[in-house]
């Protein structure tokens, strides 16, 4: 990924951020941070990027990707659940609950969900499925994406040449987090399976 980012610069930051915010977690957090590292000018043999431009590109990619994810959920909606819902353990009752939940707490979820790795990739799709108002979605998405991108790029800029040492330290914590996520997903899967069986009865 680092070679891709160092070679393609702004375009690489945009592509990875767009794909991740659309709903496919591809490690955009690392890409945005490394964009800040490249802007610091401390990477040997690589022309430094512009700090402000990296923030703008990352924010633009996050917002456009989020809108794409929202539209997929919004226009796919219930027909999409009819076609593939059984494969991902979704029912129309889930959509009813999601719509009611987003109606009450949609703004905080869209805003603060941007700051939670992995979950942030699915916030837009969920908001679209729940048919959250586009104007509300856009306002809180722009705010959340701007804060998120600025924070990550600034972090990378401040790390500079120490980026690799910090990344190595965090990778061990990442392994532990990954194991916990797998356990949580497995438990959620079993719980949802039981719920679906009860609803069908």
Query: Per-residue pLDDT for 46 more than 60?
Result: yes
Confidence grade of residue 64 (pLDDT, cut at 50, 70, 90): very high
pLDDT at 195: 64
pLDDT at 124: 85
Rounded-to-integer distance, Cα 44 and Cα 110, Å: 38
Query: Per-residue pLDDT for 35 more than 80?
Result: yes
pLDDT at 15: 92
Query: Per-residue pLDDT for 11 more than 70?
Result: yes
Query: Per-residue pLDDT for 50 more than 80?
Result: yes
Query: Per-residue pLDDT for 172 more than 70?
Result: no
Dihedral of alpha carbons 70, 76, 77, 81, sign = negative
Query: Per-residue pLDDT for 168 more than 80?
Result: no
CB atoms within 10 A of CB 33: 22
Both structure tokens of 138: 């856009």
Q: What is the mean pLDDT of the chain?
A: 77
Query: Per-residue pLDDT for 175 more than 80?
Result: no
Rounded-to-integer distance, Cα 52 and Cα 154, Å: 10
Name the packing angle between helices 28-40 and 163-200 (round to 10°). Answer: 160
Q: Do the beta carbons of residue 19 and residue 65 sit within 8 Å?
A: yes
Query: Per-residue pLDDT for 101 more than 70?
Result: no
pLDDT at 156: 87
Confidence grade of residue 138 (pLDDT, cut at 50, 70, 90): very high
Rounded-to-integer distance, Cα 99 and Cα 182, Å: 27
Tally the C-alpha atoms within 13 A of residue 102's C-alpha that lie toward its C-beta.
23
What phi and psi values does residue 24 have, to the nearest 5 degrees?
-115, 100
């Amino acid at each position: 990924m680092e070679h891709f980012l160092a070679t393609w610069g702004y375009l690489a930051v945009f592509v990875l951020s767009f794909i991740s915010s659309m709903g496919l977690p591809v490690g955009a957090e690392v890409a945005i941070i490394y964009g800040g590292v490249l802007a610091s000018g401390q990477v040997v043999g690589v022309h430094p990027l512009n700090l402000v431009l990296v923030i703008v590109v990352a924010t633009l990619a996050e917002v456009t990707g989020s809108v794409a994810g929202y539209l997929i959920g919004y226009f796919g909606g219930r027909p999409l659940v009819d076609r593939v819902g059984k494969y991902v353990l979704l029912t129309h009752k889930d959509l009813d609950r999601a719509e009611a939940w987003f109606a009450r707490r949609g703004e905080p979820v869209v805003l603060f969900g941007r700051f939670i790795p992995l979950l942030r990739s699915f916030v837009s799709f969920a908001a679209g499925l729940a048919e959250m108002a586009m104007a509300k979605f856009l306002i809180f998405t722009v705010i959340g994406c701007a804060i998120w991108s600025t924070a990550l790029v600034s972090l990378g800029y401040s790390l500079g040449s120490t980026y690799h040492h910090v990344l190595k330290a965090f990778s061990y914590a990442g392994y532990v987090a990954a194991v916990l996520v797998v356990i949580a997903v497995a438990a959620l899967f079993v719980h949802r399976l039981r719920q679906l069986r009860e609803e069908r009865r």
